[in-house]
Amino acid sequence: GESVGLHLPTLSVQEGDNSIINCAYSNSASDYFIWYKQESGKGPQFIIDIRSNMDKRQGQRVTVLLNKTVKHLSLQIAATQPGDSAVYFCAENPGGGADGLTFGKGTHLIIQP
């Protein structure tokens, strides 16, 4: 797999490899974090979420890791497929409840055949 720095606008990986997308969040009081996938011309689509009382959460082929000490979030995609090609955004809920999400800048995941 390929690991990236804190935030890169573009990540290129080989099909079948694991992908790791990183994100730094700003508000230490945020208690909910979410990863979205956005394909070209479409709205963001939910991938996985995690609450601040957890360090790790797994879904189907995806894992989210939360490090509250350094305010860092990562998304791991196992066995990357062509259909994973998209822009991935992390988002936090700084106000809690219904106040809206604060989004990161996004990472464009490119899958090499």
Partner 1 sequence: NAGVTQTPKFQVLKTGQSMTLQCAQDMNHNSMYWYRQDPGMGLRLIYYSASEGTTDKGEVPNGYNVSRLNKREFSLRLESAAPSQTSVYFCASQGLVYEQFFGPGTRLTVL
Residues that bind partner 1 (CB under 8 A): 9, 32, 34, 36, 41-46, 49, 89, 91, 93, 97-106
Q: Which CB atom, from 73 or from 91, has the smaller least distance to partner 1?
A: 91
Q: Which CB atom, from 8 or from 79, has the smaller least distance to partner 1?
A: 8
What is the three-class DSSP state of 23?
A: strand
What is the three-class DSSP state of 84?
A: helix
What's the sign of the alpha-carbon dihedral 77, 83, 87, 89? negative
Element (H, E) at 8: none
Q: Which CB atom, from 6 or from 98, has the smaller least distance to partner 1?
A: 98
In the complex, what is the shortest distance from the CB of residue 24 to partner 1, in angstroms, rounded to a whole number? 13
| Residue closest to 33 by CA, chosen among 97, 94, 84, 98 | 94
In the complex, what is the shortest distance from the CB of residue 17 to partner 1, in angstroms, rounded to a whole number? 25
